[in-house]
Amino acid sequence: MLDVLTGFSIIFVVIGAGFFLAQKGVIGQKNRLMLNQIAFYVATPSLIFHRVATSDTAAFYSPVVLVIAIASVATMAAYWLLSTLAFRRSIPETMAGAASSSYYNSVNIGLPIAMYVIGDPTYVVPALVLQVAVLTPIIITGLNWGGAEKGSTRQAIIAGLTAPMVLAAAVGFVISAAGWTVPEPVMAPLEILGGASIPLILMSFGASLKGDKVLQEDPMPTVTASALKLVGMPAIAWACGAALGLTGGELYAAVILAALPTAQNVYNYTATYRAGEVIARDTVFITTFLSLPAMLGIAYLFGG
């Protein structure tokens, strides 16, 4: 459990550093967006490629991964339905909320959770690939949708399918499935670049909090996305897993992973495409603070 707390501590400290630098004027609006763009185009693709290319593709066929996939899509659909019925927004803003409700932090919190709460990190990389290769194109397409400045529908779809993270995941998966080994002179620089991804995103996130309060602007989408992420998605994962016959450790793993907080990558996507940024930022903030007690509650229910 100490490693889980360390994972949360890393997040909060780096966010705090970004907030402090924004208060001191070191990070301004343009600097903050530059951090997001560096992460989006270089650092995060490097991180994803390294993780996927060195993973075991056998884990991709686990029923736990199937349950997580179904829960992610179902949660996104639930947000769209609630948004349509209760607080209709533009397609980009609705997509930002749907992504915030279902796209969870599978790297800097997911890994320690998998290792020290579930006891098995096997499911994290397949879940990461699922998010990047399947959900990310859909999310970016939605964030790019409409508006003359954002291009046509066709361009939005192309942007989603050719996003740097998507291509990195696809190439990494091919290399892993083929059993190839990337030469160290190639992989080592990518590993270093990938190490910059999380700090860049978290510092930009912290800087974005300057002068703003959580839930100050348009709170309904954020509250809905946060509730779905912390309660709705784990409940869907439990129901789906039980229906598919999962029991014991596999069902526990699926539910715990579904309860992980919203990924900072969602904020990075919205900041890069300048759509739904406040919804993503506030949902990341809320779910990061509340996911630990949520997961402790799940562990209690499963007798952990």
Residue-level pLDDT at 288: 86
Residue-level pLDDT at 191: 93
Q: Picking from 5-9, 68-72, 114-118, 241-245, which range would have the lowest pLDDT averaged per residue?
A: 114-118
The predicted-structure confidence for 54-66, as pLDDT tens digits, reads as follows: 888 777 788 999 9
The predicted-structure confidence for 237-286, as pLDDT tens digits, reads as follows: 999 999 999 998 899 989 999 999 999 889 999 998 889 999 999 999 89
pLDDT of 189 above 80: yes
CB within 8 A of 214, min separation 6: which ones? Answer: 222, 282, 285, 286
pLDDT of 1 above 60: no
What's the token pair of residue 38? 């560096």
Q: How far apart are CA 179 and CA 283, in angstroms?
A: 38
The predicted-structure confidence for 191-221, as pLDDT tens digits, reads as follows: 999 989 888 988 988 898 887 677 887 899 9
Rounded to whole angstroms, the maximal C-alpha distance in the chain is 55
How many domains in the chain? 1
Higher pLDDT, 53 or 119: 53
Residue-level pLDDT at 51: 85
Q: What confidence category does residue 23 fall into, taking pLDDT thresholds of 50, 70 and 90?
A: very high
- pTM of the complete model beyond 0.85: no
The predicted-structure confidence for 52-108, as pLDDT tens digits, reads as follows: 898 887 777 889 999 999 999 999 999 999 999 999 999 999 999 999 999 998 766
* Mean model confidence pLDDT for the chain: 87
Nearest alpha-carbon partner for 36 in 265, 276, 278: 265
Give the residue-averaged pLDDT of 150-166: 78
Q: How far apart are CA 244 and CA 237, in angstroms?
A: 10
Q: What confidence category does residue 109 fall into, taking pLDDT thresholds of 50, 70 and 90?
A: low
Q: How far apart are CA 106 and CA 295, in angstroms?
A: 14
Interior angle at CA 186, CA 183 and CA 189, nearest 5:
135
Interior angle at CA 44, CA 269 and CA 70, nearest 5:
65
Residue-level pLDDT at 148: 43
Residue-level pLDDT at 198: 84
Cβ(233)–Cβ(240) below 8 Å: no
Give the residue-averaged pLDDT of 26-55: 89
For 271, the domain range is: 2-301
The domain that contains 73 carries what CATH number?
1.20.1530.20
**Of all residues in the chain, what percent carry a pLDDT higher than 70?**
90
Nearest alpha-carbon partner for 255 in 263, 264, 244, 265: 244
Residue/partner pairs of 174-182 with CB below 8 Å, 24 or more apart: 175/52, 175/53, 176/52, 176/53, 176/54, 176/55, 176/56, 176/57, 177/57, 182/53
